[in-house]
Amino acid sequence: MDTLERLKKLFSSVYDGEMILDGIDEKTRVSEDLGMKSIAMLYMAMAIEQEFGVNLTNEDLPHMQTVGDIIRLIEEKL
């Protein structure tokens, strides 16, 4: 399973399966398109750390604007 598909599952788990995953791609904006607020981003960051075995810092969070940004961040930290 590629990084995008793994992220989609994480988005779904953070939103208890209530997020529509169709159409999510690297250009999808996390806040504007997915409606993620600060607390959801924190949960997402924790889920990413657990799923991918990476450590995210507070400085990383503002750089997580699009799904593509998150993928690149994960790949840099692997």
Instruction: Return phi, psi of residue 5, to 5°.
Output: -65, -40
- In this prediction, residue 17 carries a pLDDT of 65
pLDDT of 54: 96
Spatial distance between the Cα atoms of 65 and 39, rounded to a whole number of angstroms: 15
Domains of the chain: 3-77 (1.10.1200.10)
Give the model's pLDDT for residue 34. Answer: 87
Look up residue 68 and give its amino acid: G
Each residue's pLDDT tens digit in the chain (78 positions)?
799 999 999 988 887 766 777 889 999 999 999 888 888 889 999 999 999 999 999 899 899 999 999 999 999 998
Residues 32, 67: contact at Cβ < 8 Å?
Answer: no
Residue 75 corresponds to which amino acid? Answer: E
For residues 10 and 48, the answer to whether their CB atoms sit within 8 Å is: yes
Report the sign of the C-alpha dihedral through residues 4, 68, 72, 58, in that order. Answer: negative
The pLDDT of residue 73 is 95
> Can you give the pLDDT at residue 40?
87
